[in-house]
Copies of this chain bind each other. A is one copy, B any other.
């Protein structure tokens, strides 16, 4: 149990020192901004980090009920509550946390964040594919990624053995509608720029039935593959071309 005066002092010190601050207590929360919300009174945890990002957590789920980044945080006593406010402009947003009882305050001096190293990202898969496309299809050669097309417009651009431009979209998860529409869009753009028929290949471990239908409708191609997350590198185990059979058309 903290008096609001004590609490306020602790909190302001922690924020000033860019410490990891935790406040636990009975509170009511109001948010207004991109949307609006009210959280009825209850016991919750308020977490304020050194970069001023703050979050209200209940005792369930990963995501906080309320949160804000890059906010200006202030703390004041108001009537019978300790009010913590986070405000920001652009977009204009505000959170107000009314603490009616403060059960605990903890703050920790943290060291500068060590970065997470991630393997098995889509990017890495794309890089891995780029190294050797021959196992996708005989005679497929990657073109330089930068060149005429803006970077990021497609995962990979290659040339097949007949000289056709091939746009390749890589998804490391089950491909859905948006993967197909994205590929279609890329292929169309490339076609427009080069003025020649362009193939579009979607490479993914799986594809949703509906997405598959759309893909075939667009005349795009699909390759499935298996991959194994390895350390330190992603290993692609096998690729299999999936072409619609006659029966699938009926």
A116 to B61, CA, bound (A): 13
Interface size on A, residues (CB 8 A): 64
The reply to whether B32 and A229 form a contact with Cβ atoms under 8 Å apart is yes
The reply to whether B50 and A60 form a contact with Cβ atoms under 8 Å apart is yes
The reply to whether B59 and A229 form a contact with Cβ atoms under 8 Å apart is no
- Measured CB to CB, the nearest residue on chain B to A26 is B111
- Measured CB to CB, the nearest residue on chain B to A18 is B59
- Measured CB to CB, the nearest residue on chain B to A21 is B59
Residues of chain B with a CB closer than 8 A to A172's CB: 35
The reply to whether B231 and A38 form a contact with Cβ atoms under 8 Å apart is yes
Cβ of A108 within 8 Å of any chain B Cβ, yes or no, is: yes
A118/B37 contact (C-beta < 8 A), A43-B108, A59-B113, A62-B64 known: yes
The reply to whether B111 and A43 form a contact with Cβ atoms under 8 Å apart is yes
Of B37, B42, B119, which one neighbours A37 at CB under 8 angstroms? B119
The reply to whether A20 and B35 form a contact with Cβ atoms under 8 Å apart is no
Stoichiometry, copies per complex: 2
Residues of chain B with a CB closer than 8 A to A236's CB: none
A:163-197 near B, CB below 8 Å: 172-173, 177-178, 181, 185
Distance in Å from the Cβ of A2 to the closest Cβ of chain B?
14
A60/B49 contact (C-beta < 8 A), A35-B229, A119-B36 known: yes
Distance in Å from the Cβ of A13 to the closest Cβ of chain B?
16
A50/B59 contact (C-beta < 8 A), A36-B120, A43-B111 known: yes
Cβ of A223 within 8 Å of any chain B Cβ, yes or no, is: no
Distance in Å from the Cβ of A40 to the closest Cβ of chain B?
5
Cβ of A24 within 8 Å of any chain B Cβ, yes or no, is: yes
Q: In the complex, given contacts A34-B173, A51-B60, what are 20 additional A-B residue pairs having Cβ atoms less than 8 angstroms apart?
A: A20-B45, A20-B59, A24-B108, A32-B229, A34-B120, A36-B120, A36-B231, A38-B117, A39-B114, A39-B117, A43-B108, A49-B57, A49-B61, A51-B61, A53-B61, A104-B106, A106-B106, A151-B210, A177-B181, A177-B185
